[in-house]
Structures are given as structure tokens and as C-alpha cells.
């Protein structure tokens, strides 16, 4: 892969070289590859087909997870999040010890491996809030909860420059990867000032189906605001908002 330079940027194929634009800029690479029919039928490419099937399943599962959390996610994701999530979903699928290669899936995999996944690398939750908090998933009751004891925001929050206020938000989702459906519930705290006054205890409880047999996911995030003349404005279009998967209950 080579990077294009000069004033004129090319798109398309010319003289066996493919020119294209990516998020890394204008690039060029030599046209080539193996015929699709050979990959689909040649026994020598059995491993390739198996890897391709599982990668496709990972992409599909990641898309469903993103769709479930879309409302809370749209203001808290970086531009490489989709690829990073797919890579983590591949690891989840590889944790499936029940099915053979090429048929491994998220349902029988290790969904708990997604705990700690940051949707926004510019605003990691662990580098944003230092106040202790606890999480709990009660599958029987269908509740996914985050509890944050009282804390002083000025001491325990690493706020981006210009931020005067913040809120904590959570969402719990029950995801049926087989039928591509989900149940989600989101909660948020009041908008709080970043200062030296301690907050009250914050409990955010999200409800899904009681006794669910599907994987459950709990995310926690923070959004920042700037107060101007009594009005709250989202800070820098959410570029530094944090959102992280903080707990998972697989099958």
C-alpha cells in the first residue's frame, strides 16, 4: 500500500494499480488477488472460508450491538469504533468451544470479553471518572444497574477544557443475536456542575426482560457541557464523551 502525493488525487484502476480514498488519506495498491470462485470451492481455501464466515458473523453481531445502543452511542464514538468492535467480536466468537471452525458464534462465545470496550478512544471512561462505582446485572429481575456513591466532581472527574457541567448515563440491552432483535433501556443523571460540591449518590437502573435467556450488556458513559448565559451546550460535539461496556452477562 502506497500513499498518493501531489495536487491531483486519483480514484479507480489504472495500469494495474488501484487508487482509492480511505480514512487514512489517498492510497494506491497493486490490483490482484485470487478469483472468488476458487476461494469459494477450492479445498485449499477451507481455512479462508471458515475465517471469512466468522469474520462476517462478527461484523453482523457488532452492527446489531451498535444499533441497540445507537441513541446513546451517536454522541460518544470515534471514527474507528466500528473496526475495533468487529475485531473484539472476532475474539468473542473464537471463545466458542462448542461449535466447529466456521460455525462458531457470539451466542456460544465469550461475550464477557467485551467488558472494558471503549466506544470512544478520545474519551476513555477509566481516564474520565475516578470516583468509585459498582455495576450489577440481575438476570432474574431483568435489571442492569450502576451505583456511584457521593463524590466531588472537581476532584474525581478529568473534564476536557471548557467543560463546566456533566451528566452520567447508562443503558442496558438484552440482545438476541440469532433473531437480530433487542430490548434496551437508558437512564441518565441530572446535569451536574464540575466543582467542589459533592454530588448525591447516583443510582441508574435499566430494565430489560426478566429471566432473559439472551446476552445482557451494560454501558456507562459521560457527556460534557459548557454553560453559557444559563444555557447548556454539548461540548465540542461530543468529541470527548466517554462510553464503555462496563458489565456483560453472557448465556
What are the average pLDDT values for consecutive 10-residue runs of the chain, which has 251 residues? 55 60 67 59 61 86 96 89 95 92 90 96 94 97 98 95 95 96 97 96 98 97 93 84 96 73
Q: Are residues 88 and 10 in the same domain?
A: no
pLDDT of residue 31: 59
Phi, psi of 159 (to 5 degrees): -85, 145
Q: Are residues 88 and 25 in the same domain?
A: no
Give kind and range of the element (H or E) at residue 143: strand 143-148
pLDDT of residue 90: 94
User: Which 3 state secondary structure label does DSSP give 136?
Assistant: strand
pLDDT of residue 46: 59
Q: Are residues 102 and 20 in the same domain?
A: no
- Count of domains observed in the chain: 2
Q: Are residues 9 and 87 in the same domain?
A: no
Cα distance between residue 85 and residue 67, in whole Å: 13
Query: What does pTM read for this prediction?
Result: 0.83
Q: Are residues 20 and 127 in the same domain?
A: no
pLDDT of residue 74: 86
Q: Are residues 99 and 122 in the same domain?
A: yes
pLDDT of residue 65: 97
pLDDT of residue 52: 79
pLDDT of residue 83: 94
Q: Are residues 28 and 53 in the same domain?
A: no
Q: Are residues 194 and 251 in the same domain?
A: yes
Q: Return contacts of 229-237, CB within 8 angstroms, 24+ apart.
A: 232/165, 232/191, 234/75, 235/160, 235/162, 235/163, 236/160, 236/162, 237/75
User: Which 3 state secondary structure label does DSSP give 157?
Assistant: strand
pLDDT of residue 7: 54
- Angle of helix 81-94 versus helix 46-68 axis, rounded to 10: 120
* CA diameter of the chain: 69
Q: Are residues 80 and 136 in the same domain?
A: yes
Cα distance between residue 56 and residue 247, in whole Å: 25
Query: What residues make up the domain containing 241?
Result: 40-251
Q: Are residues 46 and 7 in the same domain?
A: no
Q: Are residues 45 and 26 in the same domain?
A: no
pLDDT of residue 3: 60
Amino acid at each position: 500500500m502506497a500513499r498518493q502525493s501531489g495536487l491531483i488525487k486519483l480514484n479507480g484502476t489504472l495500469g494495474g494499480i488501484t487508487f482509492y480514498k480511505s480514512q487514512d488519506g489517498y492510497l494506491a495498491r497493486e490490483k490482484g488477488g485470487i478469483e472468488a470462485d476458487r476461494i469459494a470451492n477450492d479445498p485449499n481455501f477451507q481455512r479462508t472460508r471458515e475465517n471469512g464466515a466468522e469474520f462476517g458473523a462478527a461484523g453482523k453481531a457488532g452492527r446489531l450491538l451498535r444499533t441497540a445502543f445507537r441513541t446513546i452511542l451517536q454522541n460518544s464514538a470515534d471514527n474507528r469504533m466500528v473496526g475495533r468492535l468487529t475485531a473484539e467480536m472476532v475474539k468473542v466468537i473464537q471463545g466458542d468451544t462448542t461449535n466447529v471452525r466456521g460455525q462458531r458464534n457470539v451466542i456460544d462465545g465469550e461475550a464477557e470479553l467485551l467488558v472494558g470496550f471503549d466506544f470512544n478512544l478520545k474519551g476513555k471512561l477509566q481516564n474520565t471518572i475516578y470516583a468509585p462505582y459498582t455495576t450489577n446485572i440481575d438476570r432474574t429481575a431483568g435489571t442492569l444497574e450502576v451505583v456511584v456513591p457521593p463524590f466531588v466532581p472537581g476532584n474525581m472527574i478529568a473534564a476536557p477544557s471548557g467543560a463546566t457541567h456533566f451528566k452520567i448515563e447508562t443503558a442496558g440491552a438484552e440482545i438476541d443475536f440469532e433473531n437480530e432483535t433487542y430490548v434496551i433501556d437508558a437512564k441518565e443523571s441530572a446535569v451536574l456542575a464540575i466543582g467542589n460540591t459533592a454530588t448525591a449518590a447516583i443510582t441508574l437502573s435499566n430494565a430489560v426482560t426478566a429471566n432473559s435467556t439472551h446476552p445482557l450488556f451494560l454501558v456507562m458513559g459521560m457527556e460534557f457541557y459548557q454553560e453559557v448565559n444559563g444555557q447548556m451546550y454539548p461540548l465540542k460535539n461530543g468529541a470527548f464523551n466517554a462510553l464503555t461496556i462496563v458489565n456483560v452477562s453472557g448465556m
